[in-house]
Amino acid sequence: MRLFVAIELSEETRQALQAVVDELRPRLPLRWVAAENWHLTLKFIGEWPAECRCDIVSVLRSVKADAPIRFVLEGLGVLPNIRSPRVFWAGLRHGERLPELTSRVDEALAALGVEQERRAFKPHITLGRLKTKIRPAELQRAIDNYRIEFGSLTTDRFVLFQSELRPGGAVYRKVEEFVFAEENP
């Protein structure tokens, strides 16, 4: 089974991002990600034996933080760069708690033999993938026109997802949800 750990978006942030995607869809020939699949990936695990799923659930239950995490969805961009774009994304503005949580998830899973992340954490929400060449100026115009906030989210939980790759796109199924911090009263 193919697994990853992520934070789900709120309905309000999904709606705000959907409005942007609806405006851009006719202008940018991307393979757009379905709104129900938008998430903030904390850790991609990859293929994992189904019979060992309980081990992952067990170590993820141990991941805790001092407080919920707040982040703001803001701006658009591409990965790896504007000249060779492969992924079109919405960015995030966040404090130190988000990278700390990501690091705790990474360290917990490393105890099971999941390879630790070597690259710096660059949080984003993947909105689409480039299926054809697009002039960099066209992409840059879209990015420049949306240097705005799309909404904010405060969360005290993350989710272990199973990803099934299908011809029409990936289908994500929630395996388990984990509360990592207590909400402040």
**Catalytic (active-site) positions:** 39, 124
Estimate the crossing angle of helix 97-110 against helix 53-61, to 10 degrees. 140
Can you list the alpha helix ranges (DSSP code H) found in the chain? 11-24, 53-61, 97-110, 136-145
Give dist(CA 82, CA 87) in Å, integer: 10
Strand partners, 169: 166
Give dist(CA 69, CA 95) in Å, integer: 8
Give dist(CA 91, CA 114) in Å, integer: 26
